[in-house]
Structure 1
Amino acid sequence: MSLTFAPADSAVNAAPSGLPGASGHEEQKAELDSRIRTALAMGGADKLAQRRASGHLNARERIDQLLDAGSFSETGMLAVSVLPSDRESSPADAKVTGTGRIEGRRVAVVSNDMTVKGASSSAVNMRKISRLKDTANRSGMPLIFLGESSGSRVPDSLGAEAMAAAGQDPQQYCRRRETPWVSAVLGPCLGSSTWYTCLSDFVVMRKGAFLAVSSARVTSLAIGETVDPEELGGWKLHAEQTGLVDRVVGSDAEALAEIRRFLSYLPSHAGARPPSLPAAEAIAPDADKLVELVPSARSKTYDMRKVIAGIVDDGSFFNLKDRFGRAAVTGLARLNGESVGIIASNPMFKGGAMDPEACRKVTAFLVMCDSFNIPIVFLVDTPGFLVGIEGERKAAPAHIMNMIHAVQLCNVPKLSVILRKSYGQAYINMGGGRNSDAVAAWTSADASFMDPQIGVSVLYGIKREDDPARFDQLKAELARDTSAYALAGAFGVQSVIAPQQTRAWLVDGLSTHRRDRNGGIGEHEMRSWPTYL
């Protein structure tokens, strides 16, 4: 970016002798240069020095690091507060907005400037954001929020007149997913920074940052108790409990790099296919390692994330919400250079049994992929849904139905591979039957209404410790018709494959089901789906 403006050079810019009005233009240009310098100085040298000492980038440095060099075009640089008393102390009115490029593709950016009135929200800077949102939607650009804000500006936001003005944009927080939205939580995020974060398709949070409705101080006063900021809105809360955060990093620079990487998998807008890399550049992992990664004994656990890395293009897996709903894995990757969304059960956590958090995680991911034309790959090894009192208290049936609703509305290509177990309703939710364009089963796959071991106890009332020989006999009988070959015989799967054939089957399947009649663009029935359920 950084724009620099020097005072006009009188020797170079002097008007020709006798030209009327030249000195007036010089004075006007000098005033413009002065106002631009004031805007670029942000909150002043002392405040910028304090940020540098804290190890955090300022609002303009963040834009510099995020965007391709020299590509930023600012809009609203000379905006200031509507209050006459604040006009000299509110350069750019605390929010730097404009457009630029990432890897040559145009994006829109809002960068909050904490050195100016704590990046607080005001009538003017909300107008800046509103206009930039309109520009991004009309022109098909991703919208990036570099969040850090103290919330609404007081006293500007007090009183009935301010409240009436605040409600003048009825679409301010409405998402139809015309373009991707991305948020970085890089400091205290209150007010609009929080709201836009909750509406975004991807959220990265720096350790030490904060995201909440109100600050710890305001919350403490409101409830009459001392509140720990980390417990109220720290990274562990949002990465592990609320699921609002997709990735956690240690610095501003890491967060900006994560944004660039995330956007590399997505199209610029909903009317385009995701960008692809040349297939010749895709490095296939060693397929033979899949046999080592997945134990044949169904009672043994393993880490599905390693299996994913053993299938997709080398180094391309971008895990999302890894600390939340850990019985499921969601993330972006590439197969032969093409962007795909990965949804997988993970036996490393809860044996791969899907709980309400895992269902929420998968549902949100399906919404994003469907909205932006990203094909889905299911990798399945699950005993079903986690049962118990805690799950019912968390409305497990509703989350299970939300998930299958999303699967069945999802109009992008969907492929499913059953590795070992696929039992009960989870068989349907994880792309089984007609819920995928094609389904394959490893030779080790097993599919049934329930695990045969549990089925013996349910059907016959026998536990293994009561009569081991009888139990094993009944279990073998129940398991006889659950194999991959039995499933293929009933055309429940279209292919039975060896683990080493998984990547080739997926690459061929994605080529077959790429929706060429529609240019690869889906129907986007979930584009207005709530961002948090």
Structure 2
Amino acid sequence: MAFENILQEYNEKKIKALAMGSAAKLEQRKNDGILNARERISYLVDQDSFIESGLFGTSSAVESDREKTPADGKITGYAKIDGRDVAVVSNDFTVKGASSSATNGKKIGQMKRVATQRGLPIVFLGESSGARMPDTMGSKGMGSMLGNDPTQYRRMRETPWASAVLGYCYGSSTWYTGYSDFSVMRKGAIMAVSSPQLVSLAIKEQVDPEEIGGWKLHSETTGLIDRVVETDEEALDSIKEFLSYMPAHHKQAPPVCPVPKDSGSQMTNILDLLPEKRTQVYDVRKVIQAIVDTGSYFELKPRFGKVLVTALTRLNGHSVGIIANNPLVKGGAMDTEACEKATNFIVMCDSFNIPIVMLVDTPGFIIGLDAERKRAPGKIINFMSAVSLTTVPKITVVLRKSYGQAYLNMGGGRNSDEFAAWPTAEISFMDPNFATSIVHGLNPGDDGYEEAVAEMAKGSNVWDIASMYAVQSVVLPSETRDYLIRMLEVHRMRLSNGVGEHLMRTWPTAY
């Protein structure tokens, strides 16, 4: 009889914990077309693979809250995604706005420790109101809640982190998004340091939530969000797709996938995507998708730093990071946002053993007052530092033009393991038109301008640089896919089982 009572108590507590905030709150979310915290986990992970940690956790700071805080507002545990183990943190906004407390802080800490020690990716499903009050108020609250784990804010990139902004995200949800290697945001969600209500009190004027932390701000201006989606389901699908390119941990090579049969079928006509005139624009994303395995194109930060494309792809089934200038935007001239975007992407690829391919078509870096005010020198040299510190294979192919410092940043010289070019490539210190104006003082329309430009352009073709072996290969456009696959095989990191040195493992994820 005693055992029956104990089992009955267990079942009652389990039912209460699984019930979350209340039936009414869950119904409201359903009516709004938004998944709850447990539904998000169920959608994300393999069926029946989730094992919860901390189901019976409750608020510990305020005795009267114990019965009102099932799972203490943050659902944590382990699961599988596509057969691989992961750790998961899903914020339950129906319980005190998923606010951070002493108990649920321990749960997150456990997920981070296990993920780090056992080599598991970790997924944060964000929707929280920030720190819980009165738990954190007063000196005792601060002393018990904050700063007790010296590794809390230490990110060494031992395993991939992915996060989703799926509602109002303040406090810890914002921090973990900023820390993550991949972040996706649902339209209508808000991410900021503090809520608009608190900001309005501080500055004594009303603040629009979208202006302080909406999807346009973070995808187009701050660059903190990698992808924007319409629904919770799309966000969770994006996380699954991102993780499919990643190893489980930094001491492992990424997984190898089957190669779709029609991969490379567009290579015969790839030159049709490149305008014959150097001054005409085109979308380099079409070139990338023609080269890589069919269906493997996963672009990051498409709305930010749009002069540069960064995408996870596959070549012959192997994960590859693509960095490509996009002449469709600003003629491919790189700005400070593009530098930040490239640096962030390089650090991630190098940290998780993903080779990098650079496709180059740029007149250089954007110069001028605005660029200097945006700290262009610092951004350019950060980008260059990341290129220099990379220890995964780097293959560069110049499609059309590569000038000045950008030549180096985009892998020119010995900044790539293999530096190749199409026959259409032009390489020089400066665009011949600018050089003509500087050297001869001539401008378009002046007598002798065209002749002077032609003279400046001499020696910019690929054959001169190839003759001195500063370009290792001149590759026909139609053979680019085969060349890249073969060169990545040659440069495979055999001596370390596909694992790089990770010299940038502590580089900040958001800067």
TM-score (normalizing by structure 2): 0.98
Counterpart Cα distance in 2 of 1:505 and 1:452? 30
2:25 is the counterpart of 1:47: yes
Corresponding letter in the other structure for 1:516: R
Please give the secondary structure, in 1, of the residue aligned with 2:296: coil
Match of 2:108 among 129, 138, 163: 129
Please give the secondary structure, in 1, of the residue aligned with 2:357: strand
Counterpart Cα distance in 2 of 1:301 and 1:283? 26
Counterpart Cα distance in 2 of 1:88 and 1:369? 45
- Per-residue deviation at 1:471? 2.1
Aligned residues of 1:281 and 1:337 also touching (Cα < 8 A): no
Match of 1:512 among 490, 499, 502: 490
| 1:258-407 aligned within 5 A | 258-279=238-259, 283-407=263-387
| 1:517-532 aligned within 5 A | 517-532=495-510
Match of 2:206 among 209, 212, 226: 226
2:480 is the counterpart of 1:497: no
2:85 is the counterpart of 1:111: no
| 1:130-209 aligned within 5 A | 130-165=109-144, 166-209=146-189
Match of 2:45 among 44, 52, 67: 67
Please give the secondary structure, in 2, of the residue aligned with 1:508: helix
Are residues 121 and 499 of structure 1, via their aligned partners in 2, closer, same or farther at CA, if it must alter by over 3 Å?
same
- Per-residue deviation at 1:282? 6.7
Counterpart Cα distance in 2 of 1:159 and 1:271? 43
Match of 2:190 among 210, 215, 225: 210
Please give the secondary structure, in 1, of the residue aligned with 2:348: helix
- Per-residue deviation at 1:171? 1.1
Aligned residues of 2:260 and 2:294 also touching (Cα < 8 A): no
Give the equivalent residue in structure 2 for 1:253. Answer: 233
Counterpart Cα distance in 1 of 2:263 and 2:157? 32
- Per-residue deviation at 1:474? 2.2
Which shows bigger deviation, 451-460 or 200-209? 451-460
Aligned residues of 1:47 and 1:115 also touching (Cα < 8 A): yes
Please give the secondary structure, in 2, of the residue aligned with 1:324: coil
Which shows bigger deviation, 452-461 or 436-445? 452-461
Counterpart Cα distance in 2 of 1:26 and 1:521? 54
Task: Write out per-residue CA displacement over residues 277-311 of structure 1, whole angstroms, 9 at most, x where no aligned residue.
Answer: 13475722311332111112110000111111111
Task: Write out per-residue CA displacement over residues 314-343 of structure 1, whole angstroms, 9 at most, x where no aligned residue.
Answer: 111100000000010001000011100000
- Per-residue deviation at 1:350? 0.8
Aligned residues of 1:285 and 1:313 also touching (Cα < 8 A): no
| 1:391-470 aligned within 5 A | 391-467=371-447, 470=448
Task: Write out per-residue CA displacement over residues 404-461 of structure 1, whole angstroms, 9 at most, x where no aligned residue.
Answer: 0000001000000000010000000001111100011111100000011111111111
Aligned residues of 2:260 and 2:293 also touching (Cα < 8 A): no
Match of 2:78 among 99, 103, 108: 99
Corresponding letter in the other structure for 2:510: Y
Corresponding letter in the other structure for 2:117: R
Corresponding letter in the other structure for 1:72: F
Please give the secondary structure, in 1, of the residue aligned with 2:34: coil
Which shows bigger deviation, 429-438 or 283-292? 283-292
Give the equivalent residue in structure 2 for 1:12. Answer: none
- Per-residue deviation at 1:477? 2.0
Aligned residues of 1:282 and 1:336 also touching (Cα < 8 A): no
Please give the secondary structure, in 2, of the residue aligned with 1:357: helix
Counterpart Cα distance in 2 of 1:224 and 1:276? 55
Give the equivalent residue in structure 1 for 2:11. Answer: 33
Aligned residues of 1:282 and 1:337 also touching (Cα < 8 A): no
Aligned residues of 2:259 and 2:293 also touching (Cα < 8 A): no
Please give the secondary structure, in 2, of the residue aligned with 1:157: coil
Task: Write out per-residue CA displacement over residues 102-134 of structure 1, whole angstroms, 9 at most, x where no aligned residue.
Answer: 010000000000110110000110000001100
Counterpart Cα distance in 2 of 1:367 and 1:24? 58
- Per-residue deviation at 1:497? 1.5
Please give the secondary structure, in 1, of the residue aligned with 2:31: helix
Counterpart Cα distance in 1 of 2:66 and 2:510? 38
- Per-residue deviation at 1:212? 0.1
Aligned residues of 1:342 and 1:377 also touching (Cα < 8 A): yes
Aligned residues of 1:210 and 1:234 also touching (Cα < 8 A): yes
Please give the secondary structure, in 2, of the residue aligned with 1:488: helix
Structure 2 alignment gaps of length 5 or more? none
Please give the secondary structure, in 2, of the residue aligned with 1:428: helix
Give the equivalent residue in structure 2 for 1:488. Answer: 466
Give the equivalent residue in structure 2 for 1:10. Answer: none
Aligned residues of 2:422 and 2:475 also touching (Cα < 8 A): yes
Corresponding letter in the other structure for 1:203: S
Aligned residues of 1:420 and 1:446 also touching (Cα < 8 A): yes
Corresponding letter in the other structure for 1:349: V
2:67 is the counterpart of 1:88: yes
Counterpart Cα distance in 2 of 1:121 and 1:400? 38
Counterpart Cα distance in 2 of 1:289 and 1:199? 42
Counterpart Cα distance in 2 of 1:170 and 1:258? 32
Give the equivalent residue in structure 1 for 2:54. Answer: 76
| 1:11-26 aligned within 5 A | 23-26=1-4
Corresponding letter in the other structure for 1:517: L
Corresponding letter in the other structure for 2:94: T
Corresponding letter in the other structure for 1:120: S
Counterpart Cα distance in 2 of 1:158 and 1:261? 41
Structure 1 alignment gaps of length 5 or more? 1-22
Aligned residues of 2:155 and 2:179 also touching (Cα < 8 A): yes
Counterpart Cα distance in 2 of 1:39 and 1:152? 21
Aligned residues of 1:289 and 1:310 also touching (Cα < 8 A): no
Counterpart Cα distance in 1 of 2:31 and 2:455? 70
Max Rg structure: 1
Alignment RMSD: 0.9
Corresponding letter in the other structure for 2:343: T
- Per-residue deviation at 1:491? 1.3
Identity %: 56
Counterpart Cα distance in 1 of 2:106 and 2:262? 44
Aligned residues of 1:327 and 1:349 also touching (Cα < 8 A): yes
- Per-residue deviation at 1:517? 1.1
Aligned residues of 1:285 and 1:312 also touching (Cα < 8 A): no
Please give the secondary structure, in 2, of the residue aligned with 1:288: helix
